[in-house]
Amino acid sequence: MSLIDLLTGNTGNEVAQQAENKFGISKNQIIALLAVAAPLVISYLRNKSQDAKEAEALNNALDKDHDGSILNDSSQLEARQAEGGSILSHIFGGDKQNVENQLSQNTGISIDKIGPILAMLAPVIMGYIGKEKQQSNVGAGGLGDLLGGILGNASNQAQAQGSNPLNDILGSVLGGGQSQSSGNPLNDILGSVLGGGGNQQKQQGGGGLGDILGGLFGK
């Protein structure tokens, strides 16, 4: 299952529906947030997996806690929210507050809700990675390539499927995350893409993801 299939399929819709019911945020905003958060989490994990000890720890966590069952069992979403907060703290480290601030500004979701919503989304993203790992049958040494492949495939699929708000978001995020890599996913994705008005956005004909989100949520 590709990352875009995750976002646009039953899993993405169920996650968005539960989050809408719990937090009072529209499904469109939740799906758009997931479209930004998933590549960001995967980019951070790809960077971490370049360190052998981090790769081993991630491999063990995926094998132990993230078999992908959450993708078909939405009852796990709320039960695993506290776990999701711990996942995000480990993945983002000192960047966590900055990530939440940037995502809040660019999605219009208030800062007091962005953390809890991301905590609900994190086990879903990890479950997706765990399922892909199982299907690819890779160990710790292959995680970097697996994660890079997930991002590359999503970018290609977003471009191939043409323009719609979700593909525009993913194309913007993934294009920014891969074309001018500074080695820091926060700078690559949030700084250059979500900041709006970056020079990478010329092909979008506007101010980047902020404009796409504004159009999507303004409906």
Q: Using alpha carbons, list the distances in angstroms from residue 178 to 39, 76, 82, 141, 174.
A: 11, 32, 31, 21, 6
More confident residue, 111 or 210: 111
13-31 burial by CB neighbour count: b if 16+ within 10 A, else e? Answer: ebbbebbbeebebbbbbbb
pLDDT above 60 (res 190): no
Per-residue pLDDT of 13-51, as tens digits, reads: 999 999 999 999 988 889 888 988 999 899 999 999 999
For residue 194, the model assigns a pLDDT of 46
pTM: 0.83
Q: How far apart are CA 66 and CA 61, in angstroms?
A: 7
Which range (27-36, 120-129, 200-209) has the least confidence? 200-209
Per-residue pLDDT of 75-88, as tens digits, reads: 899 899 999 999 99
Three-state secondary structure call for residue 163 = coil
Angle at 25 between CA 11 and CA 91, to 5 degrees: 60
